[in-house]
Structure 1
Amino acid sequence: MLTSTDLIRVVLVDDHKILLDSLVSRFQRNPDIEVVGSATNADDGLALILETEPDVVILDVELPGSASFDIAEEISSRLKNTKMIFLTGYLTDIFIELALRANAKGYLLKGEPIESLIHAIKKASRGEYCFSQSVQERLVFDQDKNRYSIQSKSMLTSLTSRQIEVLRHLANGMSVKEVARSMFLSEKSIDSHKYRIMNKLGIHDRVELARYSIREGLTLP
């Protein structure tokens, strides 16, 4: 029988409450996993994770509040023993790339059966990588560096995780003021990000920017 110190301590962060509650309920029936908390937005999730220092964190790509990849980078830098798995509906190269940049151990799609997620949690807790098959097919493994990377690079890889988040908001038709309010940043900061994004991508029209984002899978048409 496992003791409390043997259990894999897990925190879940997802803004879909029904999914979150279902996962918590299912994990509570698993003898190897202890759910130490859950949150429905990035900021509460980060506070909870820093307080509880879990073994594994399950993060959605899209969360209210701070960008998921921003808090993932903070978790990676502050909690060296905490492993992260992204659970999302987005099969998008740049999101996989950002997850790997943040030292995530897994990237799973929400269409996977619950058993796959439980298996991934156990692998991640041991420091092993875990990906959905369709994600794995987009990756190459560097044995020297002992890490995965995306096979095909796009211009989006030149953007920071915060710039990706700004781009997604702009592509969804939000104004600079609305993006600033959503991301808790100043309008001047968003304007600066917007200028850098357009320069890096060589796109200087909002409509074309939206089309490019849809083609790259950053946002839905």
Structure 2
Amino acid sequence: MRSQFFKIAIIDEHPMFVEALSQRIAQFDEMQVVFTAEDSETGFRRALEHQPDLVLIAMDIPGRGVFTLADELARRLPAARVVFFADVVTDVFLDEALRFDAAGFLLTSDPVDRFIENIRSACRGGTVFSDSVADRLEYDPETRRYSAKITSYLATLTSRQTAVLRHLVRGDSVKEVSRTMSLSERAIESHKYRIMRKLGIHDRVELARYAIREGLAIP
């Protein structure tokens, strides 16, 4: 076995998928799963402890929000790369991942061998996308960045505003969002006001409908 390997972390609340993925990764000497977690808070705490090289994050993890977690990891562990994965990808999620400059976005429906090969490539510094995701992207050789061919109006929101919106349309109260995101209620109210102004929406019912239509929330 090689003396050096890439340390992998998996943050996802679906234990069967995590176990199956961990077992496949264990078949490669160059990679080792150093921890798994079911929510963002536990994932962040364990990441600081284990300092993984690559963090695989499910888009639907419970807690403070997937991109809030990714931002915090980037600040505290700048060398760690992040690959997001999901059952389906919406324009909103894809745009956020690209804005974050993630190492990739994969679909759980990909063939297992392809999924693993993309993880190996990301460990080595590559940027990886599932084929159906890549079809929706454009690459700018000058900036060396990817962008979505079609963007949603939700792309005008900041990462923090998108996280707040995701909690609100899920039915969380301002107080609950405040506690989950470790922000003051006043800050959440401010984000809520700016979100609705940017989208031209005037009440939470309309906001929820819009979020569902744009793929940010599941009805």
Q: TM-score, normalised by structure 2?
A: 0.92
- Secondary structure of 2:167's match? helix
> Which residue of structure 1 lines up, in the alignment, with residue 19 of structure 2?
21
Q: Deviations over 1:90-127 (max 9, x none)?
A: 31112112112222111011111221221111111121
> Which residue of structure 1 lines up, in the alignment, with residue 74 of structure 2?
76
Q: Deviations over 1:104-151 (max 9, x none)?
A: 111011111221221111111121111111211111001011111111
> Which residue of structure 2 lines up, in the alignment, with residue 41 of structure 1?
39
- Secondary structure of 1:195's match? helix
Q: Residues 103 and 128 of structure 2 are in contact (CA less than 8 Å); yes or no, is this contact kept in structure 1?
A: yes
> Which residue of structure 1 lines up, in the alignment, with residue 2 of structure 2?
3
Q: Structure 2: how far apart are the matches of 1:170 and 1:67?
A: 12
User: Deviation of residue 17 (structure 1)?
Assistant: 2.0
Report which stretch shifted further, 60-69 or 196-205: 60-69
Look up the equivalent residue of 1:73 and give its one-letter code. Answer: D
User: Deviation of residue 179 (structure 1)?
Assistant: 2.5
User: Deviation of residue 187 (structure 1)?
Assistant: 2.3
2:118 to 117, 120, 126: 120
Pick closer, same or farther for the CA change 1:183–1:76 going to 2, 3 Å.
closer
- Where structure 1 has 5 or more consecutive residues not aligned to the other structure, the ranges are none
Matching of residue 158 in structure 1 with residue 156 in structure 2:
yes
User: Deviation of residue 210 (structure 1)?
Assistant: 1.0
Q: TM-score, normalised by structure 1?
A: 0.91
- Secondary structure of 2:35's match? strand
User: Deviation of residue 197 (structure 1)?
Assistant: 0.5
- Secondary structure of 1:57's match? strand
> Which residue of structure 1 lines up, in the alignment, with residue 199 of structure 2?
201
Q: Deviations over 1:8-48 (max 9, x none)?
A: 21011111222222222222233332111111111221122
Q: Residues 76 and 102 of structure 1 are in contact (CA less than 8 Å); yes or no, is this contact kept in structure 2?
A: no
Question: How many residues align structurally?
Answer: 219
Pick closer, same or farther for the CA change 1:158–1:118 going to 2, 3 Å.
same
User: Deviation of residue 62 (structure 1)?
Assistant: 1.9
Matching of residue 181 in structure 1 with residue 168 in structure 2:
no
Q: Which runs of 4+ in 1 moved over 6 A?
A: none
User: Deviation of residue 172 (structure 1)?
Assistant: 2.3
Q: Structure 1: how far apart are the matches of 2:120 and 2:152?
A: 32
Look up the equivalent residue of 1:3 and give its one-letter code. Answer: R
Q: Residues 76 and 103 of structure 1 are in contact (CA less than 8 Å); yes or no, is this contact kept in structure 2?
A: no
Q: Residues 68 and 163 of structure 2 are in contact (CA less than 8 Å); yes or no, is this contact kept in structure 1?
A: no
- Where structure 2 has 5 or more consecutive residues not aligned to the other structure, the ranges are none
- Secondary structure of 1:149's match? strand
- Identity within the alignment, %: 45
User: Deviation of residue 170 (structure 1)?
Assistant: 1.8
Q: Structure 2: how far apart are the matches of 1:30 and 1:179?
A: 40
- Secondary structure of 1:86's match? strand
Q: Residues 15 and 40 of structure 1 are in contact (CA less than 8 Å); yes or no, is this contact kept in structure 2?
A: yes
Q: Kindly report the root-mean-square deviation, in angstroms, between the aligned alpha carbons of the 2 structures.
A: 1.7
Look up the equivalent residue of 2:85 and give its one-letter code. Answer: L
> Which residue of structure 2 lines up, in the alignment, with residue 168 of structure 1?
166
